[in-house]
């Protein structure tokens, strides 16, 4: 298409035509999906570090790379959580992670459930038992942790202890 120079009417009509084509699209709902996200990851007692997470690489491999960078052994014992909500990142929900997110490298849900069950079954102190129950209460909002806690018979144990009257602190 040729545009005559000096013809502002022609340019205006082109812009109107273009605006008309875009009028039905809500740009705020349009989001470009990227394969590589730039995120910050924190680990207890360390400042957050900037990383790239490849959405095409398995979450397990990404976590292994993060653990390697932090010199953390046994990457299978770790998982990522969204910092604000404390929800675990899984293969199913990882697409919800956005550029610029702050994530926590933390104990994997299966390991957290196992550890917390040990702390409430045989607590070293009453305060330790209360702290473990509070942590269970907080983490139970996450479906991934809840599944692991149920798999470790945590709910069954708590209900049984309440029924027997043995869940005293």
- The CATH code of the domain that includes 101 is 3.10.20.90
Residue 35: predicted pLDDT = 83
The Cα angle at residue 151 between residues 158 and 104, in degrees rounded to 5: 95
Rg (CA), the chain: 25
Residue 139 buriedness (CB in 10 A; 0-12 / 13-18 / 19+): buried
How many structural domains are present in the chain?
2
Q: What is the pTM of this model?
A: 0.73
For the residues 25-45, what does the mean pLDDT come to? 72
| Domain shared by 56 and 93, yes or no | yes
| Domain shared by 55 and 72, yes or no | yes
Does any domain span residue 12?
A: no
Does any domain span residue 20?
A: no
Does any domain span residue 51?
A: yes
| Domain shared by 102 and 143, yes or no | no
Does any domain span residue 47?
A: yes
Residue 32: predicted pLDDT = 53
102-158 pLDDT, tens digit each: 999 999 999 999 999 999 988 888 898 899 999 999 999 999 999 999 999 999 998
Q: What band does 45 get if pLDDT is binned at 50, 70 and 90? A: confident
Rounded-to-integer distance, Cα 135 and Cα 113, Å:
10
Does any domain span residue 25?
A: no
Q: What is the mean pLDDT of the chain?
A: 82
Domain of residue 64 covers 36-107
| Domain shared by 44 and 103, yes or no | yes
Residue 60: predicted pLDDT = 95
**18 has pLDDT over 90:** no
């Amino acid at each position: 298409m040729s545009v005559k120079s000096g013809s502002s009417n022609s340019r205006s009509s082109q812009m109107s035509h273009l605006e008309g084509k875009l009028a039905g699209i809500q740009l705020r709902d349009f989001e470009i999906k990227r394969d590589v996200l730039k995120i910050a990851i924190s680990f207890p007692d360390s400042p957050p570090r900037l990383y790239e997470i490849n959405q095409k690489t398995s979450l397990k491999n990404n976590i292994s790379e993060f653990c390697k960078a932090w010199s953390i052994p046994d990457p299978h014992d770790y998982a990522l959580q969204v910092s604000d909500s404390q929800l675990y990142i899984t293969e199913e929900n990882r697409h919800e992670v956005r550029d610029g997110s702050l994530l926590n490298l933390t104990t994997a849900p299966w390991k957290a459930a196992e550890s917390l069950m040990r702390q409430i079954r045989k607590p070293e102190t009453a305060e330790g038992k209360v702290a473990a129950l509070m942590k269970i209460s907080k983490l139970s909002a996450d479906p991934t942790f809840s599944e692991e806690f149920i798999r470790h018979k945590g709910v069954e144990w708590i209900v049984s202890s309440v029924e027997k009257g043995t869940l005293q602190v």
